[in-house]
A = this chain, B = another copy of it.
Amino acid sequence: MSVTYAQGFRAAGVEAGVSAIAGKKDVAMVVNDGPLKSAAGVFTANRFCAAPVQWSRAAIADGGLSAVILNSGGANACTGQAGFDQSLATAQETASLLGCPTEDVAVCSTGLIGELLPLPKILDGAHRAFAVLSADEQSGIDACRAIMTTDTTPKTVTIDGSGYRIGGMVKGSGMIAPQLATMLCVITTDASVSAGALQAALTYGVDTSFNRISVDGCMSTNDTVLVLASGASGVEPDPDEFNRLIAQACAGLSRQIIGDAEGSSHDVRIRVAGAQSEDAALACARAVAASNLLKCAIYGNDPNWGRVISSLGTVPESTAAFDPQQVNVEINGVRICDGGKPGIDRAKVDMTPREVHIDIDLNVGEEQADVWTDDLTVDYVHINADYES
């Protein structure tokens, strides 16, 4: 159902010849028919942020959007003023089709860095998408398919609130480390929510989901997460419930990214508990998630707790307090490291499930945090060695 699950939204995904892959849909449009046009966004922190990010960040500044136009087949990043002009022209064409102000249209692009887009094809795609906009289920899926790159499957979410709905789509599959991939996400809701409340919900939701499939919190040149509210349900949601459900939508989508990560054979949840603060737990979990050696071991079905411990030991004491002699590590429920020393025989660990749980207990407090990552596989290397720059 994707972005069309919420009332007040139409979507489309069409083939416009932008992508090098024959027959692939590559231009998507999501339109908010209102009555409300609230919007909020979270964008990459990368200093080389792409032209569409520069445009969309400006467009959303007033808290309103009527539409988002997205393309795969080109990131329009590191393309200078000419690239910015392309994003602007794309917004203008879409606005003219919809009869709305240009600054009510956000633009998202994903694909190769350092090349201008084939603008006539993009504009043609805007016309084609506009012509088939629909609120039906298939159109939401089509939109999601049009933004896929190395993704193997569309990633969508639908959630029912108390009298309102939330829908969403995301693309991204190279999120082994998030600065290395492009992640585009559009979430829609028919709840009646102000731009300020949307931004608060989204910021919290992204922080606890997309930013926790992150090795280091960094992002690609194009990462964009947008949420649009149509108010079509007429329901003003309970703020706590709404925040929780937006976070749930973000978590559901980010979990799907991990599940479809390039070449992966295991999804790995790293949970650090017993920390003095959530930030300390998060720093530890990120350090462990960043270990190429651990990821290779997991690919080899090896419950290598030494590689967990040696990564954990790189976290400065000022960042996370713990006594190495009090740290426990469980892999898939088996405590193979107990008080910094060998515990139960590692042969007892069943590494066959796709999902691997690494549970680290620092034993100094009550706070915890999860980070999701994937194993590092031969297929990951092949995919990323052969992907054209």
A interface residues, Cβ below 8 angstroms from B: 45-49, 75, 77-80, 112-115, 174, 176-177, 179-181, 216, 218-221, 291-293, 296-297, 299-300, 302-307, 309-315, 317, 322, 324-325, 337, 339-342, 346, 376-378, 380-389
What residues on B are CB-neighbors of A384 within 8 Å? 292-293, 296-297, 300
CA of A45 to CA of B302, assembled, Å: 26
Q: How far is the CB of A117 from chain B (nearest CB, A)?
A: 13
What residues on B are CB-neighbors of A293 within 8 Å? 174, 177, 180-181, 384
What residues on B are CB-neighbors of A306 within 8 Å? 75, 77-78, 112-114, 221, 389
User: What would 17 A/B residue contacts be, using CB atoms closer than 8 Å?
Assistant: A47-B315, A49-B313, A75-B306, A78-B309, A80-B340, A114-B305, A114-B306, A180-B291, A296-B380, A296-B383, A297-B389, A299-B385, A300-B385, A302-B387, A302-B389, A376-B381, A378-B382
Q: How many copies does the complex hold?
A: 2
What residues on B are CB-neighbors of A305 within 8 Å? 113-114, 389
CA of A45 to CA of B313, assembled, Å: 8
CA of A219 to CA of B310, assembled, Å: 8
Q: Chain B: which residue is nearest A311 at the CB level?
A: B179
CA of A309 to CA of B113, assembled, Å: 9
**Contact A340-B78, Cβ < 8 Å, known A310-B113, A346-B389:** yes
- Given A80-B339, A296-B385, 13 more pairs with CB closer than 8 A: A46-B310, A48-B310, A48-B340, A77-B310, A78-B309, A78-B337, A112-B306, A174-B293, A179-B313, A181-B293, A221-B306, A221-B309, A376-B381
Q: Chain B: which residue is nearest A320 at the CB level?
A: B47
CA of A305 to CA of B115, assembled, Å: 11
Interchain CB contact under 8 A, B324 and A48: yes
Interchain CB contact under 8 A, B112 and A47: no
Q: Chain B: which residue is nearest A218 at the CB level?
A: B314
CA of A47 to CA of B80, assembled, Å: 45
